[in-house]
Structure 1
Amino acid sequence: MDTGTHFVMGAAIGGLATLDPVVMSSDATATAVLIAAIVGSQAPDVDTILKLKNNALYIKHHRGITHSIPAVILWPIGITLILLLFFPDANWLHLWSWAFLAVFLHVFVDIFNAYGTQALRPFSDKWVALGWINTFDPFIFGIHLVGIMFWTLGAHPGYTFLAIYAVLVVYYILRYRSKQNIKRIISKRFPDLKKVIIAPTIRFYQWRVAIIDHDHFYVGKAFKDELIIYDEFKRLPFPKEHILSAIQGDENVSAFLSFSPAYRWEIEEEDDKIEVRFIDLRYRKDGHYPFVAIVHLDRDLNIISSFTGWVYSEEKLQKKLEILPD
């Protein structure tokens, strides 16, 4: 989920903690638990700092080790130890318990996004991405804001957020059923289906769709019971092994290929350079595919420059590559 949603979820955990009599019996414990809930709800995303280094590092490692099983155990311990320095009278066990719930909830809800997490590390490096909920879901964010508003108006925060989370359980079930319905529609229309990627959007009934069958890629959207295909691409093997060998060790290409399950490629050869472009098919917007990896090589197959990430115009892409358009 996005940072704002994780923040309001942290506040919600702080509200739920008011149901804990041990927490409410001590001002120090209550204050420390509220801080722990908010900090714990943000802690796993500390790896966002990798973006300052480069996109490749961020794409390859974001929601990786910081969302793993050891991290879910260690984050609450670290938060608890630090807060006990400032609130020595706080009950350490209940402080740790609520910090743990905040960290666990952060990782748990991220599993339901299309991006996913490596939540099973160290037992598996597989990305767990159920793809039911958009990274920012206005209903989830909004209902938390409503809960916080009622809290400030005097409602009991514990019971308020218990009710809200009961509603959210139903909401998640509805999202699951909606996605399963889209899967059934696609399976009927594409009997030679190899793989399908159904990604949520900010709209409840609308989903992004990337379909792979034996010979083609199809890109479109689903809305309720309707499937609309916008683009169709022939699936072709990468034709030039010497070029592939030259670029596959590049960190931007490697990061892109580790992240993208559905992409196509383009090669453009000019007098003084070769351009290889990989295009992720999951993020079509207004006829444009913004998530790409691109490499420029000279005629001797030395890499001149490369880039991976989200770009929305060719001019910006060329600037990122530090090469002016011809």
Structure 2
Amino acid sequence: MDNLTHGLLGLAIGAMRRPDVRPSAPERASPTDRAVLVASVLAAELPDLDTLLARGDAVTVALQAHRGLSHALVAAPLVALTATLAARACFRGARLAPVFLTSLASVVFAHLLPDLWTGWGTRVLLPFSDSRLSLDWTMVVDPWVTLPLLAGAILAWRRRADWRRTLLWSAACSVAYVGFRVATWAVLTQRVEAAYPAAQAVRVFPQPFSVSTWRYVATLPGDVFAAGEVPLAGPPSEARRAEATGSTLPEHVQAVPTVREALAWARFPLVHLEPLAEGGQKVRIADLRYHLRGEPTLAFVIHLDASNAVTHAQLERGGSASELLRKWRSADTAAP
């Protein structure tokens, strides 16, 4: 998820530990109490430093460097230890065990798990497996997860005598919303499966700017994708059928590491290959799970020269957030 949400979740997890000094007490919080909160926020943010340290083209940075080893379960203790040492350096006398244990919980439950429940995919099993795991419950940015946490943090700052209870209530609201998303995902998955009894696989994905409508892709016999939308109250509405084209690329193009990485990311790939005027080829790899009325909105575009070396790579998002919002609204208006 986004860094604001990670940090706010980390703060809420830090508040779950019963402090040494009661929030309403006149004396100042203990060094351990303060270190726990700081370390929890740091631990929730540190894994995303991989985006600052990454080098390479847009595909390598987005897919290989980000959400790599820093997001793996085996690295969680190291991330937690780093946050613990930094917090104890700021608050001398803080006890090691509570700061470290809370930091470890923050890494797992404020960063790794929220990234896992989005649709982008996280390689939490590195180095044992390079598979991208995702639960597809929320978008990477979901205001209904973030806003209760943000409101709780603001109220906790203004009502310091009751800061802990305020943070915990705000976290409970966000958790309840995620639970609602999980239940919705399960119900709608069954509904789409019932609509496509011959489907080899069905996946339901969150739709931006919407709580009541989700996207879906069903893999049908013959390597055909059926994509559409499914509302909370109503049957699935198919928008498009398309043939899976991930395997249509020539083997020498698929062997290019950047292309191979993009193909591994795309769960429902739609691939287009065209020659460039200056020589070489342009490969566009879109994923149908990110679609608007059946048209992909997210794709990696890779330029190869005559020797198959990558000369340019970029991620096409289909426009800015405001442009995408306008497209969704216009699509809703045009829909019968």
Q: How many angstroms apart in 2 are the aligned matches of 1:55 and 1:248? A: 17
After superposition, give the CA deviation of every residue in 1:237-283 in whole Å (9 maximum; x if it has no partner): 845xxx61221222321121121110122344588655443322121
> Are residue 198 (structure 1) and residue 204 (structure 2) matched?
yes
Counterpart in 2 of 1:220?
228
TM-score, length basis structure 2: 0.80
What's the C-alpha RMSD, in Å, of the aligned pairs? 2.8
Counterpart in 2 of 1:324?
none
- Tell me if the contact between 2:10 and 2:44 (Cα under 8 Å) persists in the aligned partners: yes
3-state secondary structure, aligned to 1:130: coil
Q: Residues 311 and 179 (structure 1 numbering): CA distance in 2 closer, same or farther, change over 3 Å?
A: closer
Q: How many angstroms apart in 2 are the aligned matches of 1:14 and 1:141? A: 17
3-state secondary structure, aligned to 2:190: helix
Counterpart in 1 of 2:100?
96
Counterpart in 1 of 2:334?
none
Counterparts of residues 253-268 of structure 1 (less than 5 Å): 253-268=259-274
List runs of 5+ in structure 1 lacking aligned partners: 314-326
Counterparts of residues 1-326 of structure 1 (less than 5 Å): 1-17=1-17, 19-21=18-20, 27-49=30-52, 53-58=56-61, 59-105=63-109, 106-154=111-159, 156-201=162-207, 202-215=209-222, 216-224=224-232, 225-235=234-244, 238=247, 244-268=250-274, 274-285=281-292, 288-296=295-303, 302-303=308-309, 305-312=311-318
Residue 144 of structure 2 aligns with an amino acid whose one-letter code is F
Counterpart in 1 of 2:328?
none
Q: How many angstroms apart in 2 are the aligned matches of 1:172 and 1:312? A: 27
After superposition, give the CA deviation of every residue in 1:60-89 in whole Å (9 maximum; x if it has no partner): 232121111221111111222233333331
- Tell me if the contact between 1:23 and 1:33 (Cα under 8 Å) persists in the aligned partners: no
Q: How many angstroms apart in 1 are the aligned matches of 2:131 and 2:254? A: 21
TM-score, length basis structure 1: 0.83
- Tell me if the contact between 2:256 and 2:308 (Cα under 8 Å) persists in the aligned partners: no
- Tell me if the contact between 2:54 and 2:65 (Cα under 8 Å) persists in the aligned partners: no
- Tell me if the contact between 2:213 and 2:229 (Cα under 8 Å) persists in the aligned partners: yes
Sequence identity of aligned pairs in percent? Answer: 24
- Tell me if the contact between 1:222 and 1:228 (Cα under 8 Å) persists in the aligned partners: yes
List runs of 5+ in structure 2 lacking aligned partners: 320-336
Q: Residues 96 and 269 (structure 1 numbering): CA distance in 2 closer, same or farther, change over 3 Å?
A: closer
Q: Residues 110 and 302 (structure 1 numbering): CA distance in 2 closer, same or farther, change over 3 Å?
A: closer
Residue 117 of structure 1 aligns with an amino acid whose one-letter code is T
Q: Residues 120 and 275 (structure 1 numbering): CA distance in 2 closer, same or farther, change over 3 Å?
A: closer
How many residues align? The count is 308
After superposition, give the CA deviation of every residue in 1:174-229 in whole Å (9 maximum; x if it has no partner): 21221112112211221221222321134212212222111321222222133222
- Tell me if the contact between 2:120 and 2:134 (Cα under 8 Å) persists in the aligned partners: yes
- CA drift at 1:285: 3.4
- CA drift at 1:114: 0.9
- Tell me if the contact between 1:23 and 1:29 (Cα under 8 Å) persists in the aligned partners: no
